[in-house]
Chain A
């Protein structure tokens, strides 16, 4: 994976650099880190693929943490008078469960796929700002660790994932949990914002020649919409988090009702961020299944422009629906009517997508490999969640359902049945691309069915519980109040809890599958095109070389790879294969580019990101530490600014076979 071997990795201070060094070394404070195969390379890397893998691994670990927190919640509710957690611990548990799943699992996991596949799908060799990309990853990781360090420093946040103020003021949440929450999300917010800028510029600016917007793979489209949502949603939550930090740590009065504060201020700020956020969570998964379904149906995506544009429509309308989270707060009839109608309207582009997926499968030659099964599960489960969502759009019905388990059931169907199933479809579909081996299909089927059964058993009964009136966040139920007959609380709570453990075992099978595939079976390496895929990311090796493509392909079609493999008979309209994947690649790579210039490794992203939790701990514990953190930020920023994006002497040349007439290209992204 290395571009070039450099002799030494040690750190040198600028003053000690001898006269006559190369300009790249003289400019920085540190010597540039050189390529190596050790763990150090992962710390200083700016390679979008390595960062994508790191995003994925870190997000999956947070997924397991959040999952264990969920199991604690269900264990508490499995029987009357639960003794597993006390009320305070229960509050922390569900707050941290939701925060972890939303901010530390689904968002970064989508970022993992986006990071890894966007450059490959648009035919680029890296992202627009590789160092900022690395910085984003480290911000996410350190922000997540900072947030979770609250468990050991006085307890986690306890105000629910939307942390309504003034309920989250120091009066009601005296521990530092909420402070860790605000600061931790602030840090991961930086990761999302920088990631958004980076990916938008990458997609708009670095497409391979001939790849028009309407020739981009649909996953790229959905990521583009998601990043625009992030770009404009993150600053709003940033403001809200700042106000809450000022309130809690510096005695500001923003949420002090006694001095006349409006308790709806936080709700508005949070949900103006929070509703686009749910589309931020789901759209990347929509993108993934829109890639998977055509491949396993052997048909092009039905209505590609409609799917792309309905995604964009969701992105626009998503800004006009936030107050449906606040129907019970007394907004007044006009606001309620407007937001009720816009919420019903946003179901339309979502429904359009579902129709498109179904029509793609209609009449196709379906193969039910595990990625396809997860994709179909998304279509089914998300539709259920979407329909219960429409019932929330009806304001009178929503007033009944607000803060009950019906809401919990709804958003788990869209987020688990939707977002998470989409991500699992992505794991199975792209695993051979990233790691060179297909995950086991048989274990994968166990993984799939246990997850589907577990998820429906866990979240299905919650509809019933909610409509019966069980409030969400209720930490204990008693036998006397559980009621009798088919709809009694006790029975359905037990079903739900048992379901959650089946779900947990299902996810365990995924981990088993990884170990089985890579450690036990060590099966044959996958071919470069294991699924007979359609898009550009498959038109290179599995796993890809550091520079992705030996030759940047010229794009003339949507589904370029498919069109290079297959041709349509103009008389019979039948499609037949004319080239194998190997032939396509051999033809493309006949004359590999020489002197491919890749962005160089850097210490600065991780160092700058490391300064941010210091500021966080400073605000909470010690103002001196705060000053140290700010000084570290300034110093590392200067170090970064002084370092050129690329050191001029790092080149990649293809091994031998390239004869003299290859193109010579440089890729010098900034950042």
Chain B
């Protein structure tokens, strides 16, 4: 579809000469966007790494993190990448029922991760770490918050995909649309692996 040139001879259409590189426009565009996102998180992670030891008031990072809890929610998020792969594979087999099923499960796993993050933020706040408490607080909430927003946007896209798929309203090649959302979803997961390692696991 986006491969742009479709030659139609007297009503019979077939795809010809996809694109200069062979990659569809949409997929290349998504890769470019994700490349740009790397620098966004790069900036936020650098800010956090600079500031994580600077606690003028409120709790220290080492005292506040609940590693077992966050490990479980990280595991949940990683598993959602697996279900996303299954959704893409079902979409490529044109199996709408399973596509919707796996997309929904992915969204649910993502939602439990975001739920865990909300719970974590609330308990941190109760222990005295607000957004404005210290440099550590500001940069921690900014970094993990941006990631949380990315996961939430991903969930909205997954649910929209399910809704549109049910009503047959996805424009273009369904399998590719699912794959594109999948690329975004995996990217957000990989970013979380980096954040989890740098923020939670490596002691400051």
Contacts and interface: CB of A to CB of B under 8 A. Distances in A.
Interface in B107-135: 131-135
Contact of A236 (B6, B39, B142): B39
B47 interface: yes
A243 B19 contact: no
A198 B36 CA distance: 13
B25 A259 contact: no
Contacts of B44: 239
10 contacts: A197-B29, A239-B47, A250-B131, A253-B134, A254-B142, A259-B134, A261-B54, A664-B8, A671-B25, A671-B29
A259 B54 contact: yes
A246 B142 contact: yes
Contacts, number: 149
Interface stretch (A147-155, A335-343, A390-398, A636-644): A636-644
A204 B28 contact: yes
Interface of B: 1-2, 4-9, 17, 19-21, 23, 25-26, 28-29, 32-33, 35-40, 42-44, 47, 50-51, 54, 56-57, 131-135, 137-139, 142, 156, 160, 164, 169, 171-172
A211 B20 CA distance: 9
Contacts of A234: 36
Contacts of B142: 242-243, 246, 252, 254
Most buried by A among B44, B138, B160: B138
Interface of A: 27, 128-129, 193, 196-198, 200-201, 204-207, 209, 211, 231-236, 238-240, 242-243, 246, 250-254, 256, 258-262, 265, 269, 595, 634, 638, 641-645, 663-671
A201 B29 contact: yes
B8 A235 contact: no
Contacts of A253: 132-135, 137-138
Contacts of B57: 259
A258 B56 CA distance: 9
Most buried by B among A193, A198, A253, A261: A253
Contacts of B32: 196-197, 200-201, 231
B25 A128 contact: yes
B6 A666 contact: yes
B25 A669 contact: yes
A669 B26 CA distance: 9
A259 B35 contact: no
Contacts of A671: 25, 29
A644 B169 CA distance: 9
B56 A260 contact: yes
Most buried by A among B26, B32, B156, B160: B32
A98 to B, nearest CB: 23
A665 B5 contact: yes
Given A234-B36, A254-B139, A260-B56, 12 more contacts: A128-B25, A198-B29, A235-B36, A238-B40, A246-B138, A250-B132, A252-B131, A254-B138, A260-B134, A261-B51, A664-B9, A670-B25
Contact of A668 (B4, B9, B38): B4
A104 to B, nearest CB: 22
A668 B2 contact: yes
Contacts of B54: 259-261
Contacts of A642: 164, 169, 171
B150 to A, nearest CB: 13
Contact of B171 (A236, A254, A262, A644): A644
A254 B135 CA distance: 6
A193 B135 CA distance: 29
Contacts of A250: 131-132
A643 B39 CA distance: 31
A256 B70 CA distance: 30
B23 A205 contact: yes
Most buried by B among A205, A641, A663: A205
A634 B35 CA distance: 24
Most buried by A among B43, B51, B132, B133: B43
B50 A262 contact: yes
Contact of A261 (B35, B131, B135): B135
B160 A638 contact: yes
